[in-house]
Every structure is written in structure tokens, then in C-alpha cells.
Chain A
Amino acid sequence: GENVEQHPSTLSVQEGDSAVIKCTYSDSASNYFPWYKQELGKRPQLIIDIRSNVGEKKDQRIAVTLNKTAKHFSLHITETQPEDSAVYFCAARSGSNYKLTFGKGTLLTVNP
């Protein structure tokens, strides 16, 4: 089955800096890659997603890039703010079934 590795597990940045979280996947047929943000004690919420026919997608301060050859995708957050502090999860949808496999998460801390 699909295996998703996420790095780093923790990331601390200063307010205004950029943050990058990287994920690799194993199934070359995977075709959908969402990112979820989970604040402490709350449910995960989608922040951005990308499909395999697109290399990059942006939404204001966040962007996701996909490298299908290398089987990795990354989340980029620019001009970080304290409210960006949360756990971020990447995920990959297998092309051979309906399963969504999540990475283990990255705890992002933005220091004022």
C-alpha cells in the first residue's frame, strides 16, 4: 500500500519567516495530495490540495509543489504568523483504490 513520510516532525520559526514541510510517497499512481491543518484540540481542516496533473498551486500565503518524478510534495507558508501554529498533515490518495494515507504530522510553532 501507499506509504507517506513527512518531515520535519517539528518546526519552529520566527514570525515573518517562511516554513517548508516536505512529504514523500511510495505509490507512483497516487494522484491527489491534500494538506490539512489541525489546531490543538480541534478537527483537521483542509488548507490546500493539488492533483497530479499540476506542479504548483498557490493560495495567498500558502503554496504546494509536486514533483511526480521524485515522488515528493511540499507545503510552503510565507510570512508566517502566530496563528499558523498548528500540526500540519500531508496525505496522498492511492491511484489504485479509494484510500487516503496521511503522514505523521509536523508541529509548526511560530514565535512572535
Chain B
Amino acid sequence: GAGVSQSPRYKVAKRGQDVALRCDPISGHVSLFWYQQALGQGPEFLTYFQNEAQLDKSGLPSDRFFAERPEGSVSTLKIQRTQQEDSAVYLCASSLAARSEQYFGPGTRLTVT
């Protein structure tokens, strides 16, 4: 079956631009997670949804980062006024339930110039 998909796969933005990253989870998966992975590092948690409810956003680095999942399926991570330090791979994962195995998408590589 289809796994988690993310788009775009690559995004180049000029500093100050806004970007929107999309995640399509596995159908029927209740939980959805966003992670940020810097080069050579492990993924770091950003935020977590259960259905449409954002239950934990403690990992979002600043108020420039915003995530939504309005209908409990597709999620969008938006970054406003991008900065060079935002350059990273943004990973999305979904799971059937809160403590079930997470399935990761391929990520979106964001480069801010």
C-alpha cells in the first residue's frame, strides 16, 4: 500500500520567504508527527497531531513555524519569513495510534539562501 508521502521533495527559498510543506499520511492513521533533521543529526520532534487536534507543539523552534491538520488527514507545516537556520530536512511520520510504530515519509529538503 501507499506509504507516507511529502511534497515538495526539495524546496529552495530565499531568506524571508514563506514556505508550506505538505504531508499525506497513511490512510486511517490517527497520529501525525513532524520532525526537523539537520545535516548529520538525528530527527528532532516539532509537533504532533491526533486527528485534527494538535496535542503537542513544544518542539516548534519559533512562532514562525505553524502546523495544521484541519480534516485529520493531510497536514501542512508552514514556515514564515524563512531564515538560513531553517535549512534542514523536514520529516513527517504517521502512526495508527499514539503509541504505535511510526512510518516516516521521505522528507522535504529545505534550503534557505
Q: Do A and B originate from a single complex?
A: no
Please report A residues at the B interface, Cβ cutoff 8 Å: none
Please report B residues at the A interface, Cβ cutoff 8 Å: none
